[in-house]
Structure 1
Amino acid sequence: MALVRKVPLKKLDPPVKTFHDFAIALTSMVTKAGHNCDEIHIVFDTYREDSIKNGERERRGKSKEMVVLDVISPNQNVPVVLENFWSSSISKTAFQAFYVEWLTTNYQGHSKPPSGPTSITLSSGDTDVFVCLLYHITVNWRDLGLKELWLVRNSGVRRSILPLHDICLALGDELTKCLPALHALTGCDTTSKISTKLAALNAVRIPENSSLILNFDSPQLTENAIQLAETFLVKCLKPSTDLKTFDDLRHAAFDSNALKMDFERTTCTSTNARKHIHRGHHQQQLWVQAPFRDATSIMNAENYGFVRLGSSLIPEFVISKPEGLPDPCTCGKCARKNGCPCRVAGIKCCKYCKCKGGDCCKNPITE
């Protein structure tokens, strides 16, 4: 759908006014791009009602007045503000149905018996597609006789053609096999950002780190796989550390006084990191199993870190600070009976208090 939105409607002559005009312009762009190919396959996105990506789509279109069309006819005028039209999954699904019917009626192509191609060129600007293609040519398609896989990427006025078969050879099979896990765990459309892609790539190039997520593409998410994935994310955030969990990172941050006791700024807890890892595994399985079966039919997102809110699936988070838990005191020696929050609450001072619960602490409960 991203390529459909790149059709330069305002620059065409004659101008595009109806969806019939739109279909002609889109077909011209597609056939021009594939003029050296024996076959052209047009693949659309799927917009499921219970998709985990719906929450992200709604967020993107939240401030726009969406134009919703559930049926589109050839003579129907194209909306003036197309961004409002594309913000609606219903409208995009309707356009797909219209275009398929339009092609069947208006475009006279030819077909040939299916065969196993040795060279394929795809056009997509989606990072998810880029990662998945690298994975599948390494793990699945190379053994089926596919020798060349090219990806055409358009970014603004820039256009690049990437030889994915050569990129896989340069990266090596082990690193390439880790890419879907790396992408899902460090942040994509359906998972939160943790660290950066560059930091993750630097981490995964170290053999002992790549082994942490090498088998993350297994259909079964084991407790050991969760622990290893958490350690990998810790390595992405802090490459030189020997720590293994997000709770360890939180403790280290507090001990070094690098951060104040601010639950909004600190690293998330291991509990929430594990929820994130479940979501990352769910998304990765959708990518890994896509050529073979519909993984959504066997993987319930609500078992992988998502909760249902109405018709939407949203990430599940666990509140890291229990309600009523007092903040560490900042009163120094804690000598004032009614001035020290810890004394008032009847609890000991701890190492996160200003007194650090040490010898200078005058809280009698600590003593």
Structure 2
Amino acid sequence: MNYILNYPLGELSASEAGESDVLKNLEATVHRKQEILKQSRTAKLWLQYSEMVQVLRQFIKAERTGNWPLHLQSIQEMLPFLAASGHNLYTKTAYVYLMTMQSLDEDHPDVYASFINGNHVIRRSNRYWAGISSDLFIEQVLMRSVKTAGGLTRGRGMTESQRSLWLMSMPACAEINQAMQDLSGVGYFSSEQHKDETHARQKKDTNDIQTLLTFLKSRNPFIDSEVDRSLRNIETGVVADKTVNVDDAKKVGTSILQELVGKNIADHTFRRKKQAITLGNKVQAKLDGEPLRIDSQLLFQRCTTAAHGIFEDISEIFQFELCGVPSSIFETTGLPREPQKSTLAEYMWNLIGLKPKAPTETHFVLDGGSLIHRLPWAKGATVDTICMTYVNYVNNHYTDATVVFDGYPSVPTTKDVTHFRRTKGIISPKVNFNNDTPIKTKKDEFLSNSENKQHFINTLGEKLKDGHVQVIHAEDDADLKIVLTAIEKSKQHTTTVIGEDTDLLILLCYHSKDAINKIYFKSEAKQNTHKIKIWDITETRRKIGPLVCNILPFIHAFSGCDTTSRIFGQGKGTVFKKISTNIKLQDHAAVFCQESNVESIHKAGEQIFVALYGGLLDVETLDMLRYRIFASKVCVGNIYVQVHTLPPTSDAAKLHCIRVYHQTQVWIGKGDKLDPKDWGWHVEDNKLLPIRALLPPAPEKLLRIIRCNCKLNCDTKRCSCRKHGIDCSPACGECRGMNCSNTSNITEADELDDR
């Protein structure tokens, strides 16, 4: 590097600098580092994304500067990614275009010479970065004048003579325009400075870069491959299975392009199964094993539209979800809808109307997980210093205390979804530490690694014991252990449970029926909170009633908890109110709190779903109710029906109900012998994930007609989409709903211009 820096000014050309051994060594070093990083599939994907961005920047540079060889190079480098992503028409046309242009020097040497001189782009000025692509120039000039006052689409007509007259008059109009500017002294001028170089634009770019860096700092995709070699979404933490190969998109696209060699491009058909498979394909509807890349709401609309005339009774199709996932209980990502647990506690607090005072003498039972997140960590502090901070805090605030910690086993658990949702895609490397090890990473990042967290909990537990604090370690989730510990302590004296989780309140109301002394539940004091809710569990049980308290675990699990889905449009307060005021629903809920078989669980759960959505108990099934609600919305509404506002199908509800049963049994202390895999869960990548549905998203014959495989323009009744009165969409095999005559995109664009 010193060789380059110390070289006399003006005596080293750019080409000579590029060929220097120093830069070659730097390039080789960077390449070696990239190959090491690529051992992690996530890093490999992001390096590939960086390459794609570089190709795009290279193409923009070629257009702005009029660099013809760079233009062709960029098109060639784009092709594998276009093919892998399924942009079939772009792939075909770009492939033919590239082949034609590469032989331009032999076929049309005069045109080639002009393009080499930078004339494949249009310029309004002689500035270096002012080139405009021909298609963009056509949009800005020709198409704009077509659609403005006096243009062809504004009343003149589109006959051959009218088009000829309009085009031939354009040079004369331009001369008149220039003459008017000269006469009036008014003209259009622009600065020599490009708009991308203005102070405002540079400031915005800097802020955007900082935002991106802040996000990536805690979700670094380029972590050591020894820590994590998986392919994951760095925002949600969702891990791809082995079928996902989007990190090899360039390789996949290259193999697709090789099939085009020597073939007639118009007759060639691309196969979806050979395209890159993304993480989103896992939650999409499939036909013949191939994913239909289509939005869930759009799929629902197309299914309900196309079903008329195919099914004698359209209500038959509502036993299927008609979208990629059961959207009333799952998000479009395939994850369960995130619960809003605190709303149940809020509803109960307003219902009972109690404001008890904290007891003066009590034994405290602390939720260890809440305690860990309660105190901040000083940056660079040692493990011993951090642990002593917790010990001093507990001894100063709770004179007689027992701390119960969660366990984080290496085997799959039903809380796996919650764990990686809470980490928000952050993956921290395992840290081998002892008491003297300084922790230099952020607390949340350090604890996002389950091995780090378990090791720290074990270390903290020993320090608390040395500080005369009782410590209990649960094997996995500690909620039940905390409650049972509090009930055991209440045999000798009044007990107060300290925690933030609504689960603790629900379990205390259920299990404390045999408590001898009073049990209280409250949150830890916070600086910005003046009033802390203190729950007298005995009085809470008396106000709510023993019958409802005995089914509270079911109500909480059914309406959404850490292991079960929230039901769209059915808040916890609504579920609590409807069940607590209906004896028949309470009988159905009791099925979940006793030993029951799958059939009785499904029957009871379906009736509760029917009641929540306003159906007729013991008369309507969920599938019947789905159709009735859909039909009523269509009749009275002037907008399309959102699929997630409908009840789940009987199939999806059954799986939800057996997961609710499993969680309810765990909470009441009878779930030890229940295998989650028998109750609506399956293992994937060493994680327990909920089974979304057993039935396909829609009948196969319906899926076949909502997409076409037209190789031409979709302008005849041979197009299955046009035949059934629906627009082509991204699910279609060839056209993808773009650049064909059976799409509303062009019409919508025209309407947008009219506004």
**TM class, shorter-chain normalised?**
0.7 to 0.9
Distance 2:612 2:702 in 1: 31
Distance 2:644 2:464 in 1: 52
Alignment equivalent of 2:536, drawn from 139, 144, 163: 163
Give the corresponding residue for 1:280: 660
Structure 1 stretches of at least 4 aligned residues deviating more than 6 Å after TM superposition: 339-345
For structure 1, which segment, 79-88 or 221-230, has the greater mean C-alpha deviation from structure 2 after superposition? 221-230
Give the corresponding residue for 1:21: 385
Q: Which has a greater percent of helix?
A: 2
Q: Where do 1:244-255 residues align within 5 Å?
A: 244-255=620-631
Matched, 1:322 2:696: no
Give the corresponding residue for 2:419: 57
Letter in 1 for 2:648: C
Q: Where do 1:133-144 residues align within 5 Å?
A: 133-138=508-513, 141-142=514-515
Q: Secondary structure of the equivalent of 2:497?
A: strand
Give the corresponding residue for 2:398: 34
Distance 1:79 1:235 in 2: 53
Q: Tell whether the 8 Å contact from 1:263 to 1:321 is kept in structure 2 after alignment.
A: no
Instruction: Quote the offset at 1:50 in angstroms.
Output: 1.4
Instruction: Quote the offset at 1:271 in angstroms.
Output: 0.5
Distance 2:510 2:588 in 1: 17
Q: Tell whether the 8 Å contact from 1:7 to 1:26 is kept in structure 2 after alignment.
A: yes
Deviation per residue, 1:322-359 (Å, 9 max, x gap): 34425999xxxxxxx949969969xxxxxxxxxxxxxx
Check 1:108–1:136 CA distance in 2 against 1; reply closer, same or farther (3 A cut): closer
Matched, 1:236 2:612: yes
Matched, 1:153 2:532: no
Letter in 1 for 2:628: A
Distance 1:284 1:253 in 2: 30
Distance 1:261 1:109 in 2: 57
RMSD of equivalent CA atoms: 3.1
Instruction: Quote the offset at 1:250 in angstroms.
Output: 0.8
Q: Secondary structure of the equivalent of 1:131?
A: helix
Q: Could you say which structure has the larger radius of gyration?
A: 2
Matched, 1:268 2:268: no
Letter in 2 for 1:29: Y
Structure 2 length-normalised TM: 0.39
- Structure 1: where are the runs of 5+ without partners? 330-336, 346-367
Instruction: Quote the offset at 1:272 in angstroms.
Output: 0.6
Alignment equivalent of 2:501, drawn from 116, 120, 126: 126
Distance 2:603 2:525 in 1: 38
Check 1:110–1:125 CA distance in 2 against 1; reply closer, same or farther (3 A cut): closer
Q: Tell whether the 8 Å contact from 2:610 to 2:622 is kept in structure 1 after alignment.
A: yes
Matched, 1:188 2:561: yes
Distance 1:340 1:263 in 2: 26
Check 1:135–1:257 CA distance in 2 against 1; reply closer, same or farther (3 A cut): same
Q: Secondary structure of the equivalent of 1:313?
A: strand
Check 1:344–1:27 CA distance in 2 against 1; reply closer, same or farther (3 A cut): same
Deviation per residue, 1:244-303 (Å, 9 max, x gap): 5321321112221448576565322111100000111111111111xxx7x34x111110
Q: Tell whether the 8 Å contact from 1:186 to 1:196 is kept in structure 2 after alignment.
A: yes
Q: Secondary structure of the equivalent of 1:42?
A: strand
Q: Secondary structure of the equivalent of 2:592?
A: coil
Matched, 1:210 2:572: no
Instruction: Quote the offset at 1:20 in angstroms.
Output: 1.1
Check 1:173–1:215 CA distance in 2 against 1; reply closer, same or farther (3 A cut): farther
Distance 1:228 1:282 in 2: 15
Distance 1:328 1:173 in 2: 55
Letter in 1 for 2:649: T
Q: Secondary structure of the equivalent of 1:41?
A: strand
Deviation per residue, 1:146-181 (Å, 9 max, x gap): 231111214853333211111111100001111100
Instruction: Quote the offset at 1:57 in angstroms.
Output: 1.0
Q: Secondary structure of the equivalent of 2:667?
A: helix
Give the corresponding residue for 2:437: 76
Distance 1:93 1:207 in 2: 44
Instruction: Quote the offset at 1:107 in angstroms.
Output: 2.2
Check 1:245–1:162 CA distance in 2 against 1; reply closer, same or farther (3 A cut): same
Letter in 1 for 2:661: H
Residue identity over aligned pairs, in percent, reads 22
Check 1:175–1:109 CA distance in 2 against 1; reply closer, same or farther (3 A cut): closer
Distance 2:552 2:468 in 1: 40
Check 1:47–1:234 CA distance in 2 against 1; reply closer, same or farther (3 A cut): farther
Matched, 1:174 2:547: yes
Instruction: Quote the offset at 1:116 in angstroms.
Output: 2.9
Distance 1:26 1:244 in 2: 56
Give the corresponding residue for 1:302: 677
Q: Secondary structure of the equivalent of 1:325?
A: helix
Distance 1:328 1:178 in 2: 46
Letter in 1 for 2:539: D
Distance 1:133 1:160 in 2: 15
- Structure 2: where are the runs of 5+ without partners? 1-368, 472-488, 707-715, 725-755
Letter in 1 for 2:382: T
Instruction: Quote the offset at 1:63 in angstroms.
Output: 2.7
Check 1:233–1:79 CA distance in 2 against 1; reply closer, same or farther (3 A cut): farther
Check 1:328–1:150 CA distance in 2 against 1; reply closer, same or farther (3 A cut): farther
Q: Which has the higher contact order (CA 8 A, sep 6+)?
A: 2
Distance 1:135 1:115 in 2: 15
Check 1:62–1:16 CA distance in 2 against 1; reply closer, same or farther (3 A cut): closer
Distance 2:470 2:601 in 1: 49
Distance 1:67 1:96 in 2: 17
Deviation per residue, 1:223-251 (Å, 9 max, x gap): 2232122222332343x754653213211
Instruction: Quote the offset at 1:59 in angstroms.
Output: 2.7
